[in-house]
Structure 1
Amino acid sequence: MDASFDAVVIGRNEGARLLRALGAAQPVARQVVYVDSGSTDGSAQAARGMGVTVIELDPARPFTAARGRNAGLAALPEAEFVQFIDGDCLLEPGWPARALAHLHANPRAGLVFGRQYEAAPDASIYNWMTDWEWNKPLGPATFCAGCLMVRAGALRAIGGYNESLIAGEDDDMCHRMQAAGWQTWCIDAPMTEHDARLFALAPWWRRSLRAGHSYAELGVLHGAAADQRRRAVLWGGVLPSVAALGLLFWWPAILAVAAVYAVSGIRQWRRFCTQGLGARRAAQASGLLMLSKFAELTGMASYWRARAVGRRRKLIEYK
């Protein structure tokens, strides 16, 4: 089996984390390309100092993760397999062999990814929730995040990533790859360590806003993320509206809505407790999960407002 692959790392002002990401990829990849999206912290120069091929994107066009990945892929025209890595992630040494073996054994596999995990999940409830979200279902039709090993020809055949998307570009790519007859595999193997460094509510809220934006746009593009949109509308919009109307016209409605939230919160609390969380941390997790519906609905609404006036939204950065 040919065990060679190339790596594309994308980043923007990742600092020391980028150097660690590049350092983890260099010993195992045939070639490493770093694509920089307007960093002001010397990332591009530092990457060049490590002997990495560096592409600095022209700031005249909007930066997106999709644009960065496409630029990296274009710089590797002969590559058969490409590992995409976000600049705040460390590649597991044993992952490439597992990924390549899976791609060779499954000729209809367009891509494969494994378990991404947080470097410090217990440092904050926000880190823990991010780690929890990374735990994707296993199988041949799962939707990846930014880190994955792709069959380069399959990605080129579907036109690469959609560079106009400021969020949800990975889900969009998986939808198009599946529509073209390719499988998008998640396998049970550690792949990358991610460093979220989320220690406050504000950046976590922006991250949830971005998720809501992607749910709305994926719905337009593919009719996807319907369940996520329904939950955001119900918990973040419908029930609060019912409570507000109850305040004006029929106060028992407020108690009914409060009871629905309480029942849901207790159910989520029990679920998190069964996953090994203590009672306090499980309560925090269930509360954040509910709060995320308000952020997601806000993100969805911002997408629809921008779409209605024909305005392109800027990147929603949370770090």
Structure 2
Amino acid sequence: MSRIGLVAIGRNEGERLKRCLRAVPAGCPVVYVDSGSTDGSVDFARGLGMAVELLPTEGGFTAARARNAGWRRLVETHPALDYVQFVDGDCELAPGWLARAESTLDAEPGLCAVFGRRRERFPGASIYNALCDDEWNVPIGLVNACGGDVLFRVTALRDANGYSDDLIAGEEPDLCLRLRQKGWTIRRIDAEMTLHDADIHKARQWWLRARRSGHAFAEHVARHGDKADPLWSRQRESIVIWGGTVPALVILLALVGLLFPSRAAGLGAILLALLYPLQVARIAFARWRGGASPRFALAYAFWIMAGKMAQFGGLVRFHRKRRSGRASSLIEYKGAS
């Protein structure tokens, strides 16, 4: 463990954070970075003998700022470290993960980061948890980006000067894009990495989470332009079409049909609106063909399409804040009523 240190970040994670910190292997240097918790998280971490970094309120709380504060303090106090494992406070490391990840980075000097399978702790507790579990199951092999739980090479973090502090979401694809432009690669391996507790049980929580992702897609493309991750550029285009353009046309045609009146406009509004159930059916059929149960495939397709509206709200929020020159604030979904 002398070559690996761990950075855990959290904000009012309660019992989730306790599971996270208790799962850290003995002998692993740890820095816990807290973003204004009021639930005793700081005292608990200190009670375990862990170093604690309190993130200043100036500049706003972001996961990017927390991770940067954590790894910089970690390598300052343990300069011999080769790797830093990042873990979110609602996640728990799987036994044996660090050794497996370390051997992967040792074998491939060109890798800047390696990550494995993040699973939901309670996927059956809600359809939203199940959707998160499916989201974490990304392809094995070389990939364009990682998530929040990942083992990073210290030299790569220094090469990119860490995460972008000002991003309220999407900081991992931003960092990975900048590292790939410098010649580094990222690998997802077939190994259990962490258990994640999304704890999403309400549609509003899922809606806010989707809004945050829409904000992230918009900011990533605005920041990187033609060099943006192609997947994120396509996602932004999909959000604009399905979350903004088509609904606007449906409303416009419906108003024209009612005010003037126009049967053609009314029929056009109906036909455009029918595109949504058709798209849900298409996506659900593809997921079912891929091995998903009919129930999950249908729920997945429905929430993917419904989420486009929420994501469009996040996109609009980003551009409104950008025009006004104001910094974006966190979009928090846990605990939302």
What residue identity is the alignment partner of 1:241? Answer: A
Per the alignment, residue 233 of structure 2 pairs with 226
Per the alignment, residue 15 of structure 2 pairs with 16
> What are the equivalent positions in structure 2 for 1:1-319 lying under 5 Å apart?
4-27=3-26, 30-77=28-75, 78=79, 79-223=81-225, 224=228, 225-247=232-254, 248-249=256-257, 250-319=265-334
Distance 2:205 2:111 in 1: 35
Number of equivalent positions: 317
Distance 1:47 1:104 in 2: 30
Distance 1:283 1:158 in 2: 41
* 42-51 vs 216-225, greater mean Cα deviation: 216-225
**1:276 positional shift:** 4.8
**1:315 positional shift:** 0.8
Distance 2:2 2:106 in 1: 10
Distance 2:25 2:104 in 1: 22
Q: Retained in 2: the 8 A contact 1:118–1:193? A: yes
Q: Retained in 1: the 8 A contact 2:36–2:55? A: yes
**1:277 positional shift:** 4.3
What residue identity is the alignment partner of 1:15? Answer: G
What residue identity is the alignment partner of 1:253? Answer: G
Distance 1:3 1:61 in 2: 33
* 52-61 vs 86-95, greater mean Cα deviation: 52-61
Structure 2 segments unaligned to the other structure (5+ residues): 258-264
Per the alignment, residue 261 of structure 2 pairs with none
What residue identity is the alignment partner of 1:115? Answer: R
What residue identity is the alignment partner of 2:160? Answer: I
Partner SS for 2:133 = helix
Q: Retained in 2: the 8 A contact 1:3–1:100? A: no
**1:286 positional shift:** 1.3
* 60-69 vs 250-259, greater mean Cα deviation: 250-259
Partner SS for 2:200 = coil
Structure 1 segments unaligned to the other structure (5+ residues): none
TM (norm. structure 2) is 0.90
Distance 2:193 2:326 in 1: 37
**1:274 positional shift:** 3.6
Deviations 1:146-187 (A, max 9, x none): 110000111111111111111111111101111111111112
TM (norm. structure 1) is 0.95
Partner SS for 1:235 = helix
Partner SS for 1:251 = helix
Distance 1:25 1:142 in 2: 27
Distance 2:50 2:67 in 1: 16
Deviations 1:45-95 (A, max 9, x none): 111101111111222331111111111111122121010000000101121
**1:194 positional shift:** 0.3
Structure 1 residue ranges (4+ consecutive) displaced by more than 4 angstroms after TM superposition: none
Partner SS for 1:218 = helix
Distance 1:254 1:103 in 2: 54
Q: Retained in 1: the 8 A contact 2:144–2:173? A: no
**1:234 positional shift:** 1.0
* 298-307 vs 275-284, greater mean Cα deviation: 275-284
How much identity, in percent, do the aligned residues show? 44
**1:144 positional shift:** 1.0
